[in-house]
Every structure is written in structure tokens, then in C-alpha cells.
Amino acid sequence: MRRETQNILLVLLGGALLKISFTGTYLRYVKPAHQWLLIFAGVVMLVLAAFAIARDLRAHAATADTDLDEMVDAEAAEPVVARTEAVPARIARTDLTHLTITDPVDTGTVPVDAARAGGSRSDVSLAGDAGDGVVAAEHSGTTVGGAVPGDGGHADVDVVGPGGGPAAGAPADLGHARAGSAGGHGRPPVRGDHGGHNGNGGPDGEYSGSDGRGGRGEYSGSDGRGEYSDTGGRDGRGEYDGRGEYDGLGGLDGRDGNDGHGRHGGHDGHGHDGHDGHGHDGHDGHDGHDGHSHSTRSAWLLALPVFAVFLVAPPALGADSVQRAADTAPRVAAASEFDGSSLYPPLPTGDVIALQLTEFVERAAWDSADSLDDRRIRLTGFVVHEGDGGYLARMAIGCCAADAYPVKVRLDGADLAGHPDDSWIEVVVEVVPDTATKATEYVPSASVHALRPVPEPKDPYEH
């Protein structure tokens, strides 16, 4: 997944968290104490995303100018076939900031280790071995130049950097890659390969990026960034899984480009048809992409909670959960461990007093002082029909809805026919003594004196 997409998902997710914490919907999912945590998390997500977006924009702006110039240059140019002579390429490591490429000529292997580079660093080493490698690099977006190391002096490189992107790529410090006429053969380089050498190979094709620093650094191709997919048959190198999706942009500060390109965004694909000459344009210059292509794929899943919150907004748990748990043992928390009499202070005096459903059920089941008897209690909950009985129920949560458990009271003497499941009511009841026993699974019965529908409370759960 591209970096921009990740940032957008983060913004959305942070927005979703803020939305539910400010509208109060969060109470359907977690306990009230989590509100500040949610706000904090939402804000952090927005800040992280904003920071990354700001960096991308800055990098983009910096590249834009270069782009223009290059476009112009490129008009006249033709694709290049560059013959490199002794192109050195060794990309030793990229740390956050740099990619160094040096080239061992003649190395036989070309390990490309880009993709796996974790985090922000990537080590790429590639060295071309073979003599005539033909490398064609095609990049979209930002381009990459192909660097090609040949060993023996000739690697044919076709570099087409189409796009006005600033190209990247190539190992920056290529010592000298000569292309084009300079090498004697080859046509002038075309746009596109700039990168380490930014295009400077004019017609004569000589791009010597020797010092690498040429403008490079920082090319995050505008559009190109990200999504690097490599088709090419490189041989070998294992670790590079080609699957791409680098998110380019990079490095934390790649701009100092002292050695080479700092970042370049993606180019996609270079096909290399070549046999191993590979050159290979140092992808990876962008170090910033933090690598693991394996995992960026998981980021897609972040869209799920976003959809769920914005589009579906699942309701608080209700009758379905109560029925689902119907055949379970009593869930009268904690109180069941004791004999309990000392646990319950006397009820306040008054004609009708309001109690939480949890407390009502616990007292009915465990209070040896029978403090509920002959008292009128006001309870609020939703209706659940089970078998032939009607119940007043409430879900109680410890932390979030995943750990919710139901508490319920059987309502006697009330006509609940007009109240479907999940409709909220307030009742005034009197407990029927000794009904909360093991036989009833500690669900007390209560006779109803009054009943009226009420709206769903802001916090649908008890705690």
C-alpha cells in the first residue's frame, strides 16, 4: 500500500475514533473511562498522518522544479541505450539518509535486498556482474535510472525514464557510468535517468554520477512513488520479493543527498530483461519506505473499523446477547463468592428508589438481609422475550463490549406484548421473595407496578 493511502486511512481512523468519542457512540462499545483514551488515540493518529503528509508535500514541492527542467530536456532526447563501461555499483547500505552505491565491478552476484529491508533502512547491494547485462529500466512516475553495473565494461542499458520524474535510481555513486557515445556506443540518454546522475548525460550520455550527489536526493516522484513492482527477472536475489508496494518517500531526510539519491519514489518496474547484468537501479533509495512490503498489505484492514464506524455504526449489545447467553450459569459477578450479608448496606429510604439492575439482581440473590423485600424499585433496561416469559435485561461490561455479560429480571404481571425485544422501558417493581435461586439460575422475578417506555440511555451498559 502506498504511503499516501496509509496516511489517508490513518486520518479516517483517527477521525472515526474522534467522532465516536464526541458523539457519545463510544459508549456502545467501551466504558466511559475510555473517552479520553479514544480522543488521545484519534489525535495521535491525525498528527502522525499530518506529519507524514506534510513531509511528502514538501518533498514533492522540492521535486517539482526539477521535474520541469527535466521534462524540457527530455523533449529532444531519445531513449538511450547506454553502454556502460565499468559501472561500478555497489550499494552498500542505505540508512535513513543515504544510499551509497559503490561498485565492485565484477562481482558475480547481485543480491538485491531491497525489499526486505526493514524499517527505514534498506540495504541494497547490487552489483552487476555479468558482462553484458542488458537492463532496461522503465519507470513510471519517477523514474529511475538504471544503474548498471556491468562488469566488464558493457552492460547495455536501456534506460527510459519516462516520466518526468526525477529519476532516481541509479546508484548514485556510480562511479562513472558512461553511456552513450561516450561509451562509444549507445544512444544518448534520455530523460529519465537522472537520479544519481541526473540526467546529465546529455547526448553524449555520460552520466557520471560519480559523486552521486547530483540533484538526486529527493526524488519522490510525484506520482510515482510507491508501488514499485518489479517484473524483472533478476536472478537471484532472494530477498527481494518484488512484490512491491514500497511506499517510497522516503527517507527521513534523504535530502541531503550526499550520496546519492535520497529517496526516490517509486518507479515501477523495470523490467530487466537482461540477464544478469543487472543493474538495477537502486531502488531503495528511498529508504523511507519502511519496508516490509509484507506488512503494508495488512494496513488495508484498517479500512474495516472505519467502514464499521462511519457506515454501519453497530448498535449496543441487546436482546440477542442476552438470549445467546441464556443457558449459561449465573453471572452475578463477585457476589457469589460470599455469603454476602455484610456486603450490602441498607437501601436508602423513600417511596420508590432507583437501582442498577446489577445491584437489584445481586441483592435479590445474595443479600441475606433481604433488603429488597417489600420495597418498590425503579429499574431501567430493555425487553427480552424468552420462552413464555418477559424479562427486563441490561448488559454489564468490565471494559468493552467483548466482555459483556447479561443481567436480567423476570417481569411478572406486565403485558410486554406491545414491547418488542430491545425496546427500552422503565419499570417500578417489587421483588418476589426467594425467586433468585439455583433453580432459576439466580434470575429473580419481580411484580410490576408501573411500566413506561423510555429512550435508550446514553450509556446502555452497566459497569
Q: What is the footprint of other proteins within residues 93-122 (CB under 8 A)?
A: 95-97, 116-121
Contact flag: residue 281 with other proteins (CB under 8 A): no
- Among 22, 37, 72, 453, the residue binding other proteins under the rule CB under 8 A is 37
Binding mask 381-420 for other proteins (x = CB under 8 A): ----------------xxxxxxx-x---------------
355 vs 397 by CB, closer to other proteins: 397
Facing residues of 378 across strands?
354, 428
Q: Which grid cell sits at 377?
A: 424499585
Task: State the DSSP code for 417.
Answer: T
Binding mask 163-182 for other proteins (x = CB under 8 A): xxx-----------------
- Among 319, 361, 372, 428, the residue binding other proteins under the rule CB under 8 A is 319
Contact flag: residue 316 with other proteins (CB under 8 A): yes
How many helices, marked H, and strands, marked E, lie in the chain?
Answer: 6, 14
Phi, psi of 269 (to 5 degrees): 70, 125
Contact flag: residue 22 with other proteins (CB under 8 A): no
Of residues 214 through 273, those in contact with other proteins by CB under 8 A are 223-224, 226-227, 229, 239, 245, 252-253, 268, 271, 273
- Among 15, 48, 236, 347, the residue binding other proteins under the rule CB under 8 A is 48
Q: Which grid cell sits at 216?
A: 538526486
Contact flag: residue 295 with other proteins (CB under 8 A): yes
Task: State the DSSP code for 166.
Answer: P
- Among 32, 64, 68, 307, the residue binding other proteins under the rule CB under 8 A is 307
Nearest approach in angstroms of CB 125 to other proteins is 14
Task: Report d(CA 131, CA 276) in Å as an integer.
Answer: 8
Q: Which grid cell sits at 243?
A: 512484490
Distance of CA 131 to the CA centre of its chain: 43
Find the distance separating the first CA and the last CA of the chain, reported in whole Å.
Answer: 41
Task: Report d(CA 124, CA 144) in Å as an integer.
Answer: 15
The answer to whether the Cα torsion of 287, 293, 294, 300 is positive or negative is positive
Phi, psi of 337 (to 5 degrees): -75, -15
Nearest approach in angstroms of CB 59 to other proteins is 12
- Among 11, 18, 81, 148, the residue binding other proteins under the rule CB under 8 A is 81
Nearest approach in angstroms of CB 235 to other proteins is 18
Nearest approach in angstroms of CB 219 to other proteins is 13
Three-class SS of residue 332? coil
